[in-house]
Amino acid sequence: MPTVDIRKMNAEQLKNAMVKLGEKPFRAKQVYEWLWKRSATSFEDMTNLSKELRTKLEAEFMIRTMTEDVMQESKDGTIKIRYKLHDGHMIEGVLIPTEDRVTACVSSQVGCSLSCKFCATGFMGRLRNLDPAEIYDQVVLLNRTSLRSYGIGLTNVVFMGMGEPLLNYANVMQGIDHIISPEGLHMAAKRITVSTAGIAKMITKMGDDGARVNLALSLHAANDAKRNTIMAINETNNLSALVEALNYFYEKTAGRITFEYILFDKFNDSRADAEELVKLCRKVPGARVNVIEYNNVDKVPFTKTDEERREDFINFLNRNDVVAKVRLSRGKDIDAACGQLANKAK
């Protein structure tokens, strides 16, 4: 029974493996293309390889895949899919359609270790990291569902699903490489956004590595005292450290930076909160704000801000030269909205 997952091998390792099997080195390029450009899930799919080679590959290697477990469709057109991984763990991905685009919201971990006070995923804890192939597979499978359901493929990918991407940095970046590489899915890097709760040293590493993706910081409060109460990660990654890291990332990559800001009723939605947010935005070049409608989560005491208060908050930001827009929640009726992913699909 094969125990080696062939997708854990890089191009050079794959070439060595072909030689060891008595094959010409160029066969590695063919296999690599089947795995990452054509998204093959079995060796039998690799029809330009000889039957003999396919049999050898079948005997030596495996291709671990994920399968669709449950799909739910919201009345607003949003689709949430729970996927079953090879070891039985479950993750969730979401498709969010608009008139001219379809965004895939993908996961980076099974669960999450950060336990932000407003997020259902945090109640699960972190069960394990996803590997690069599992991250890649989500995009492939969600793209197929998008084509089938909406008639168009994915236009954008956001790492805003289950987990903290920067606590699974190497796997996430390798997965992204398979998504954007010409030898992979060849999606434009600027169509991808990595969202983080705020790991300063890893944001700096993104700058050092020249990451070409967009970056979103889940902010939700513009002063340390308030942010500490809802996001424990802020106690070791305060706003000063995050601002320094974001500026470094921008200096190295010129990547777009967005602050994600969920409005909680009478917690972070006052004029004073808006003023603090304006001051923070002015410290980060080109920073814009996505104001997010809060979605109810079991065991969480917060409620969402009313519409009038929300509009006043956004208008104040825009009057003060901060580009801000509201991101209305999608898929709330199927627990697919921001902060609701917790494998509750029935």
Rounded distance, CA 203 to CA 241, Å? 10
Compute CA distances 241 → 12, 157, 246, 268, whole Å. 39, 27, 9, 21
Position 156 pLDDT exceeds 70 = yes
- State which H helix or E strand residue 260 sits in: strand 257-263
Q: What is the largest CA-CA distance in the chain?
A: 71
Residues 156 and 294 in one domain: yes
By residue count, the chain amounts to 346
Handedness of CA 297, 302, 308, 313 (dihedral sign): negative
C-alpha closest to that of 161 among 249, 92, 251, 97 = 92
In a domain? residue 255? yes
Residues 242 and 307 in one domain: yes
Residues 268 and 142 in one domain: yes
What's the alpha-carbon Rg for the chain, to the nearest Å?
21
The 10s digit of each residue's pLDDT in 206-223 is: 999 999 999 999 999 999
Neighbours of 325 (CB within 10 A): 12
Handedness of CA 84, 87, 89, 93 (dihedral sign): negative
Compute CA distances 311 → 271, 306, 307, 315, 318, whole Å. 12, 9, 6, 6, 11
Residues 57 and 85 in one domain: no
**Number of structural domains the chain divides into:** 2
Domain end, chosen from 42, 62, 82, is at 62
In a domain? residue 192? yes
Averaged confidence pLDDT in the chain: 93
In a domain? residue 306? yes
Residues 27 and 145 in one domain: no
Which residues form the catalytic set? Answer: 92, 338
C-alpha closest to that of 111 among 338, 342, 295, 298 = 342
Domain end, chosen from 17, 36, 62, is at 62
The 10s digit of each residue's pLDDT in 7-57 is: 999 999 999 999 999 999 999 999 999 999 999 999 999 999 999 999 999
Rounded to two decimals, what is the model's pTM? Answer: 0.92
- Annotate 144-188 with DSSP letters as a single string: HHHHHHHSS---EEEE-SSS-GGGGHHHHHHHHHHHHSTTTT---
* Residue 255: domain span: 67-334
The percent of residues above 70 in pLDDT, for the chain, comes to 94
Residues 270 and 297 in one domain: yes
Domain end, chosen from 62, 78, 103, is at 62
